[in-house]
Structure 1
Amino acid sequence: MAIGKSAGIWAVAGAAALAALAWAFWPRPVEVEAAPVRQGRFEQAIEEDGRTRLKDRYTVSAPVAARLERITLREGDPVAAGQVVAWLRPLMPPMVDERSRREAQARLEAAAAGVDRARARLERARLALREAQLEQQRTERLAADGFLSASKLDSVRLALAGTRRELDAASAEEDQAMHERALAAATLQSFAGTASVARALAVRSPVAGVVLRLAQPSASDATLPAGTALIDVGDPRHMEVVSELLTTDAVQAQPGRRVVIERWGGPPVEGTVRRVEPAAFTKVSALGIEEQRVNTVIDIASPPREWLAVGDGFRVVVRVITNSAEPALLVPIGALFPRGEQQAVYVIDGRRARLQVVETGGRNASDAWVRSGLAAGQQVIVYPPATVADGQRVKVRRP
């Protein structure tokens, strides 16, 4: 009886050992991460850095050589169209000695005498013309009666034409003499040091806006040449964005494309591509690689109140939307993997993984748009391990 009981105990122990061995070597499910297939808006975009700039920037310059008085405006101050933004003090006339002043006075008197001489010559030329006209009239009457030859008439006519030319020359000489007198008078006036100081010249803003930059913030005792930049003004409500896109991306960023402008310090704002410049340039990247890029100009479509804090030259990030669909079936980009010339995913069917070939319509940095092969609500394996195969038992890893 004891022997039978001992044999039963050994049988139970053996069965338990066999069960433990079977459990130890039984294939265990592979732990995987899963994500649902969902419906939403799909957007495929070109993402690149950009910078803001004013559409119209005006540089106010000195119209004449002068000394600059201190500008009281500062960057960010509003200005109105026609408002005085700077004052220029004309140059003082040079000091001269008594000899120079007398020489200038003598030149003025000589020029005045030249005017009198030119006027006398002009009067003499007018008298000569009148005499030639009378001579022509007498000669034509005598020639008509047959008392003078045709050659004599021709000589009289030529003499009249020459007299007219003499009158023109005398008139031109009078004009020259009058200009020389005016020049001499202006020179003498500038020598009157003595003289009065010219009034300050006001420089005005061509448009309404704000001060962007002061090129000459302090008063200058030195003479500023004509054309020296004084101040930059512009209207911050008229802003655009410039982004240097790779030429391969710029081909897709055609005018009219929707753009999302973000990471400027506020909520994203809308924009549209206005122009892709026709000429590209070479730029060396941070990795030392030469890239061909082209400037793409973007208009901001959102109301100014949404982005008025953005200033000229601010850094932004632009996303040029090249493909979009709504509604669209979306799966994480990590769930896709190539299978031959197609794309596939692993769908979780109960506790097993099922291989499913899908057709995609595009992908972005996080999601892929699936045209066919999946349905909303299905679970797909994200970043499937190499041990996963069609029909493999899987276990979803909980976060």
Structure 2
Amino acid sequence: MSADREFDIVLYGATGFAGKLTAEYLARAASGARIALAGRSQDKLLAVRESLGETAASWPLITADAAQPSTLNALAARTRVVVTTVGPYAHYGLPLVAACAAAGTDYADLTGETLFIRESVDQYHKQAIDTGARIVHSCGFDSIPSDLTVFALHRRAEQDGAGQLVDTNLVVRSFAAGISGGTAASMVEVMRAASSDPEARRLMNDPYTLSPDRGAEPELGGQPDLRWRRGRDIAPELDGFWVGPFVMAAVNTRIVRRSNALLDYAYGRRLEYGEQMSMGRSAVAPVAAALGAAGNAATMALGSRYFNRLPRKAVERILPKPGTGPSERTREKGHYTVETYTTTSTGARYRATMSQKGDPGYKATSVLLGESGLALAMDRDRLSDLRGVLTPAAAMGDALMARFPAAGVALETVRLD
């Protein structure tokens, strides 16, 4: 990719809910970076830029629309990195991936849509390798905490000479968040695709659906995403807790497994990875965990088959509108803490803990996406040599971890025994 691009980062979708938050973060954190804002409406872009203060006053504005691929091609040719918040990605994402893959431009998004990522891999992975582009999906709360805690555990075990990762589980210990229209729209698109296409349902049920080579993956069983269990079955430190399924496990686990494969199975070929949410210690915790597992399973099983039979207007009426999101108060009060436990092939045990203040899907995500764009644009000597359709860990694991402390993202690993 040419170093003579006009911009370091173009933020596409800057007038949307997540886009505005990301623009606000970049205005605070991106000192020295050459940034432009892009979207469909010049007037709305101007309003966003004016809201950002003096730091962003000179940022150029670019009009571009997914319905007009030529505008995306022109956008991609002008910048080192495109950061996009425009979803649902199944509807709007592929033309921009195509433009970046063709131009050799790095790309980062917020998608949690497994089928979209699979299509991106199938259509553009080889071309991106040829042009030198890094197409990096899932650079927000989905799926950086999952991907980077496992990457950090791998680095720690490697440093200690403690072998490869085997039994590995993420547990969401605390979580407070709202929901936006964009997230709801993405969830609807996933359910609609699975409801109308048996092949899509098969892909969503395959634990290795994002693998670069499905036939090379180990046969370790189904690695179910919807189970409930005692915390002590994961780690002695969780004795007395019950855990149930985490709603985003189906996406995050497949990102982590793709990272392992892209990194030539550096984590280990016996890696078994799952995600759960803590239900606490109370007497009702096992009931809550069991009901959560059953409810999620029923939703996936019935929704993936019958979702398209629901009246579209009725579904739209009960979900948040696109472009809307949680209030500023909700965003400020939000937070998350995740703990990822692993046992290595030598029997050593480790825990990685990652936490942020701010609503996970919005305030925290804008930090993660902004730092991903900055890592791709400004820390190129720290990035991996991989190209193609990548994951956060495979593309920029070390660079991103180095950026976390200054960004207010806490990530630490400890050896437990």
TM class by shorter chain equals: under 0.3
Higher relative contact order (CA 8 A, sep 6+): 1
Scaled by the length of structure 2, what TM-score is found?
0.15
Q: Which has the higher helix share?
A: 2
Greater C-alpha Rg: 1
Q: Which has the higher strand share?
A: 1
